[in-house]
Amino acid sequence: MTVVVASGKGGTGKTTVSVGLALSLEQPVHLLDCDVEAPNTHLLLPNAGLDLASAQETNRCTVPVPRVNPDRCTGCGACSAFCGFGALAVVRNRVLFFDDLCHACGGCSLVCPEGAITEVPHEIGTIVDSHYGPIHHVLGELHVGQTLAPPLIRAVKERADGLATIIDAAPGTTCPVMEAARGADAGLLVTENTPFGLHDLALAAEVFADLGIPSGIVLNRAGIGHEDEEKLRAVSRRFGFPILMRIPFSDAIARAYAEGRPIVSAVPGLRTEFRAVYDELARMAISPSGAVSGARS
Ligand code: SF4
Ligand code: SF4
């Protein structure tokens, strides 16, 4: 089963939950960091008490971008007219090309009547594989200044081969989140019980509902924010996404977080709760219509 962990709002504890879930399964699992603009699962895992099983392997992630053969180009402008991203401009019969705007769609080379456009690899980021105990950790990292997160996210997801898979998605509701969530069996939305947290939770829930991904909610830092949970329960009811876990706001958890340690190492009892969350998501993935009736709100 593939579970994507997301949150409308940044800073809710999404990565904490992703790592906690992976560490709690006690089985081989892929942990994919698809928050490629700001990955940080690698800051927690080395402090989980697991052996680094082998050397880390780093691979480049590239996308094909066009190059123009000036000997064949007639300056007709068909390529720049086609490109919807402004990555090509024809000035005085010369094609100017802006790598950073290119979305690597390949369209310009298809429409060029002279066959003047070929494609070359353009590096957008790296993918680092490592193995901590039973966890296969894959970290995607977009180079500074690059904007094409989706191809890198797809490349990270291709590293998983059918084992249990936990995906740490970017916060928000933009293209990188959609790409990370695409094809997932279940979603886990992490929030906090504050006006910002609940507002952005509703946005994320709308995305996951539209994608048809059965999902649950984790309330992090339970005990801060609204005194009652009525607004949170309203979001839960509206989308049929049950509240599956409450992580308390406690000294032990805050200290672990500040020290870069996974919270399951600070509060071992959380492992049992994470496993129960995973089991419930598996049940919902098999029978999505049971999501509402399975709510623990
Ligand atoms: S590959 Fe697509 S996005 Fe890139 S320059 Fe060509 S048409 Fe534009
Ligand atoms: S479509 Fe081909 S021939 Fe026309 S301007 Fe672009 S590269 Fe040159």
Read off the pLDDT band of 296 (50, 70, 90): very low
Residue 224 · residue 203 · CB < 8 Å: no
Q: How would you classify the pairing of strands 88-91 and 94-97?
A: antiparallel
Which of 67, 69, 79, 94 gets mutated to test ligand 2 (max ligand atoms within 8 A of its CB)? 79
Residues 192-251: tens digit of each pLDDT: 999 999 999 999 999 999 999 999 999 999 988 777 889 999 999 999 999 999 999 899
CA of 107 to the centre of ligand 1 (A): 6
Segment 121-133 mean pLDDT: 95
What is the Cα–Cα distance from 274 to 260, expressed in whole angstroms? 19
Hey, how many other C-beta atoms are within 10 angstroms of the C-beta on 36? 30
E strand segments, the chain: 2-7, 29-33, 57-68, 88-91, 94-97, 117-132, 135-142, 164-171, 186-191, 215-222, 243-248
Among the residue ranges 199-203, 264-268, 289-293, the one predicted with the least confidence is: 289-293
User: Would you state the pLDDT for residue 288?
Assistant: 60
CA of 105 to the centre of ligand 1 (A): 5
* Nearest CA owner, ligand 2 atom 6: 79
Q: Which fold has domain 2-50+133-290?
A: Rossmann fold (3.40.50)
What CATH number has the domain spanning 63-123? 3.30.70.20
CA of 99 to the centre of ligand 1 (A): 9
Ligand 1 atom with the shortest distance to the CA of 103: 3
Among the residue ranges 48-52, 121-125, 156-160, the one predicted with the least confidence is: 48-52
Ligand 1 atom with the shortest distance to the CA of 88: 5
Residues 43-82: tens digit of each pLDDT: 999 998 888 887 889 999 999 999 999 999 999 999 999 9
Comparing C-alpha atoms, which of 143, 131, 177 is closest to residue 14?
A: 177
* Nearest CA owner, ligand 2 atom 3: 73
User: Would you state the pLDDT for residue 129?
Assistant: 97
Comparing C-alpha atoms, which of 134, 129, 132, 136 is closest to residue 49?
A: 132
Q: Over the chain, what is the mean pLDDT?
A: 92
User: Would you state the pLDDT for residue 266?
Assistant: 87
CA of 203 to the centre of ligand 1 (A): 31
Question: Does 256 sit in the ligand 2 pocket, CB within 6 Å?
Answer: no
Ligand closest to Cα of 92 equals 2
In angstroms, what CA-CA distances link 214 with 172, 176, 217? 18, 19, 11
pLDDT over 90 at 139, yes or no:
yes
Task: Return the domain boundaries, the chain.
Answer: 2-50+133-290, 63-123
Segment 247-264 mean pLDDT: 92
Question: Does 11 sit in the ligand 2 pocket, CB within 6 Å?
Answer: no
* Tokens at 145, concatenated: 């200044």
Segment 30-36 mean pLDDT: 98
Segment 34-48 mean pLDDT: 94
Segment 256-279 mean pLDDT: 93
pLDDT over 90 at 261, yes or no:
yes
Ligand closest to Cα of 103 equals 1
Question: Does 75 sit in the ligand 2 pocket, CB within 6 Å?
Answer: yes
